[in-house]
Amino acid sequence: MGERSEDQQSTIDPSAGRVVPFASPAARSGRAHIEEPIAYDAILLAGFGGPEGQDDVIPFLRNVTRGRGIPDERLEEVAHHYRAVGGVSPINAQNRALKAALEAELERRRIDLPVFWGNRNWAPYLDEAVSDAAASGRTRLIAIATSAYSSFSSCRQYREDYYRVLTETGLGDTVTIDKVRQFFDHPGFVGPFIDGVRDAVAGFLAEGLAPATVRVLFSTHSIPSVDAERSGPREGDPEYRDFGDGGAYAAQHRAVAEVIMTEVAAAVPGASDIDWALVFQSRSGPPTQPWLEPDVCDVIRDLPAVGVEAVVIVPLGFVSDHMEVLWDLDTEAMDAAAEVGLRAVRTQTPGVDPAYVSGLVDLVEERLLGTPTEERPHLTSLGPWFDVCRPGCCENIRAGFKPAAAGVAP
């Protein structure tokens, strides 16, 4: 089946003037929140992917950086992170575990939705997952991407892949893909972080450290500043708001960190006097290109000069302990702390925590039931985020603006 025309690929709601490619009938309106039940028949679990052997490392990194013209010599600078652990990224095993946990929770709730798992950058690929779903007669898909926040790499790039897969496979005639809302402030995602920070802070204070000597650093992936500024709805959209420096991406992280620290302060005596900061990691762009700062290791090295003796490192931007947590935090950040004599603890990611798994199924269920927006759980004033992404949301002007599913076309 060949590629269809733009008119065939999209459906226009005359009343709203919106175009939402490959959407379910309810989502074709382009409304930000869909408050009517949708009879999905499968879940598409969309992951990043990772190598599973030494021979996979460079081909995987080529996939990740495709279109950017990065030579293998530069890829080898990152490859040694994977080679140090046998060339096997833990991310695929983590997604297998998450898939199994989701299936168990769905069965417990008697929700008859099979889970099809596919990755953006390594096998099993998204096109395989979508093709397998269609071959089994499952054509109304609700997607969960393993990323909680709004940015090009954590949301829009997945949506571009949904569009590409449906176009290249020719399955767009029969398959629709919607997505759950970004879940950065859903209690199921935030809860495991609250638990980890509470325990780490309580441990340091119980050992006699003064609150002023403890610092909490919330770490997330750095992204180009130009991408960050374009995260979230664009100016002119009814859903637009001024998110400040770093766009919606940074604002979401800051808002979640504030919730966590408020909860920890209520649970641990003295914790209200502990300072915290949002920091960034895993920068990969050229030095001439501005990326979000400050870097986690730079901040750690400066902490003793302001009287800090212990640091709690929180991988707030990540859903599991993949390589950017194990290397950039457990190796580089912990080494930086040791170099300057700081005591350091890295808290857990959600992984397959029951609260997180249950929360993901909650997100699917609210779309199955058409849960009213005001009844959807969220812990910050930024939520609940949108079911249908807004026009131009999280665009990447460096890589070129590509069509994307599960969102309103500009």
Is 401 a member of any domain? no
Q: Is the pLDDT of residue 31 over 50?
A: yes
- Shared domain for 193 and 61, answered yes or no, is no
Q: Is the pLDDT of residue 290 over 50?
A: yes
Q: Is the pLDDT of residue 311 over 90?
A: yes
pLDDT (average), residues 192-204 = 98
| Tens of pLDDT, residues 137-149 | 999 999 999 999 9
CA 355 vs CA 107, 171, 227, 241, 385: distances in Å: 16, 34, 31, 30, 19
- Shared domain for 220 and 173, answered yes or no, is no
Is 111 a member of any domain? yes
- Shared domain for 324 and 195, answered yes or no, is yes
Is 390 a member of any domain? no
pLDDT (average), residues 294-317 = 98
More confident residue, 298 or 289: 298
Predicted confidence band of residue 4 (pLDDT cuts 50, 70, 90): very low
- Shared domain for 303 and 339, answered yes or no, is yes
Q: Is the pLDDT of residue 7 over 60?
A: no
Give me the number of domains the chain comprises: 2
One DSSP character per residue, 299-368 reads: HHHHGGGGT--EEEEE-TT-SS--HHHHTIIIIIIHHHHHHTT-EEEEPPP-TT-HHHHHHHHHHHHHHH
Is 75 a member of any domain? yes
| Percentage of the chain modeled with pLDDT above 90 | 84
| Tens of pLDDT, residues 55-114 | 999 999 999 988 777 888 888 888 988 998 888 999 999 999 999 999 999 999 999 999
Q: How many CA atoms lie within 13 A of 192 on its CB side?
A: 24
Predicted confidence band of residue 18 (pLDDT cuts 50, 70, 90): low
- Shared domain for 196 and 176, answered yes or no, is no
- Please give the pLDDT value at position 11: 40
Contacts of 354 (CB under 8 A, 6+ apart): none
- Please give the pLDDT value at position 67: 73
| Percentage of the chain modeled with pLDDT above 70 | 96
Whole-structure pTM value = 0.93
Average pLDDT, the chain: 93
Is 388 a member of any domain? no
Q: Which alpha helices (H) appear in 145-246, and where do they start and end? A: 157-169, 187-206, 225-229
* Residue 60 CA from chain centroid, whole number: 19
Residue 172, both tokens: 């767009």
Predicted confidence band of residue 10 (pLDDT cuts 50, 70, 90): very low
- Shared domain for 171 and 256, answered yes or no, is no
Residue 255, both tokens: 């808002």
- Shared domain for 314 and 367, answered yes or no, is no
- Shared domain for 128 and 196, answered yes or no, is no
* Structural domain harbouring 120: 6-183+353-375
The domain that holds 159 is classified in CATH as: 3.40.50.1400
Helix, strand, coil abundance in the chain, percent, nearest 5:
45, 15, 45
Q: Measuring CA to CA, which residue among 384, 280, 9, 406 is closest to residue 168?
A: 9
